[in-house]
Amino acid sequence: MTTFSEQPGRGLLGLVFVLPVTALLAAGVGGPVRTLQVLGPPITFALPIVAMIAFWWADWPGTLVRGGWTGVSDTALVAAGGVVLALLGRDTVPLAAGIFTLMLQLTLVGEGWPLRGRGRHWPGVAALASCWVVGLGLYLGLVATGVVSGEDYAAWFAVLGAWQMIFFVGMRGRPFARIRRRAVRLATAHGVVVACAGATFWVPPPVAGSAIASVLVVAMLFEVRPAVGVSLLVALLTAALSTLVPLVARGAAVPERLAGAWTTHATMNALSLAVILHVAVWRRWPVSAP
């Protein structure tokens, strides 16, 4: 007999946390447009910090406290860091999107090499700093010089993020995990993910954002396996989100010129961040008591 300590019960209970947080992050500051303007930049700049805490620091420094305070302390650190970095980055969302995607490329696709395993906390800081350096260099070299528009720059990284999620969250690193030699495995993984993003760069950011959120909901929140089941559910949920969220934007009187940006924010920022916070930072508290 399945209980709510198992799936899909844990995932359903997790929605009690995820959905209100998503609504707050998507439209909780005076409506969708105002929320996009106020929360969009700091949330995007906070995402690399979330990745560092969840995937490099194993929830430190939240692990220094007990119970639900772990999630509270880590979330406070994420929020403060996002605001500070947004100010430093002058609220430049394409810059932040690139840095976050580079952080995922290093963390998930690159398995944290060559930094992971060389200490407890400093490798995460080094990973974040190196992604900032590379991301800032790419932004200044491509966007600030006018070679690429900020919209196209952010759109390509959104598509790259979708493929990172598909391969390394949805498919648990397959098929690359079957390659034994690390050098060959990492080179193949980096090459395939970037090539897939290049071949699908035409996918609109709202669809890419919906795909990212769908992978996290299906594979992280509900822990669906095997890969075939994940792929089918992700495809269905992506289609649903990329269709329904723009309707919500229209119903909320979001201007047409901002509808795509808000849809991307609601899925890639709000919903995705809510899932990561609940599962990877809050450790599903209070659904699953330690």
In this predicted structure, the answer to whether residue 141 has a pLDDT above a threshold of 80 is: yes
- pTM, two decimal places: 0.90
Which residue, 49, 2, 63, is CA-closest to 283?
Answer: 63
Residue 1 confidence (pLDDT) = 41
Alpha-carbon dihedral sign for residues 161, 163, 169, 175 = negative
Measured from the Cβ of residue 226, the count of other Cβ atoms closer than 10 Å reads 10
In the prediction, which pLDDT does 53 show? 86
Name the maximum alpha-carbon separation found in the chain: 61
Radius of gyration of the chain (CA): 18
Q: What is the pLDDT of residues 13-69, one digit of tens each?
A: 999 999 999 999 999 999 999 999 999 999 999 999 998 988 888 766 656 666 556
Confidence of residue 208 (pLDDT cuts 50, 70, 90): very high
Residue in the structure block whose two tokens are 């700091």: 42
Average pLDDT, the chain: 89
Q: Is residue 152 a contact partner of residue 203, using CB atoms and an 8 Å limit?
A: no
CA distance 114 to 106: 9
On the 0-12 / 13-18 / 19+ scale of CB atoms within 10 A, 271 is buried
CA–CA gap between residue 116 and residue 95 (Å, rounded): 25
Q: Which pLDDT score is estimated for 101?
A: 97
Q: How confident is the model at residue 109 (pLDDT cuts 50, 70, 90)?
A: very high
Q: Which amino acid, one-letter code, is at 288?
A: S
User: Contact 203/162 with Cβ under 8 angstroms?
Assistant: yes
**For residue 290, is pLDDT > 50?**
no
Per cent of the chain over pLDDT 90 is 70
What's the rounded Cα separation, in Å, for the pair 36 and 159?
20
Show the 3-state SS of 192-246. HHHHHHHHCCCCCHHHHHHHHHHHHHHHHHCCCCCHHHHHHHHHHHHHHHHHHHH
CA angle 99, 103, 109 (to 5 degrees): 135
What pLDDT, on the 0 to 100 scale, is given for residue 59? 61
Asked if pLDDT for residue 289 goes beyond 50, the answer is: no
222-249 pLDDT, tens digit per residue, is: 998 877 778 899 999 999 999 999 999 9
- Residue 7's contacts (CB-CB under 8 Å, 6 or more residues apart) are 222, 223, 224
Segment holding 139, helix H or strand E: none
Q: Return d(Cα 113, Cα 110) in angstroms, integer.
A: 6
44: nearest Cα among 187, 134, 158: 158
**Cα(134)–Cα(99) distance, rounded to whole angstroms?**
8
- Please determine, for residue 256, whether its predicted confidence score (pLDDT) is greater than 60: yes
Rounded CA separation 279/282 (Å): 6
Q: Where is average pLDDT lowest: 71-85, 89-103, 201-215, 225-239? A: 71-85
pLDDT recorded at residue 74 = 79
Q: Which two tokens stand for residue 145?
A: 């010089």
pLDDT class of 2 with cuts at 50, 70, 90 = very low
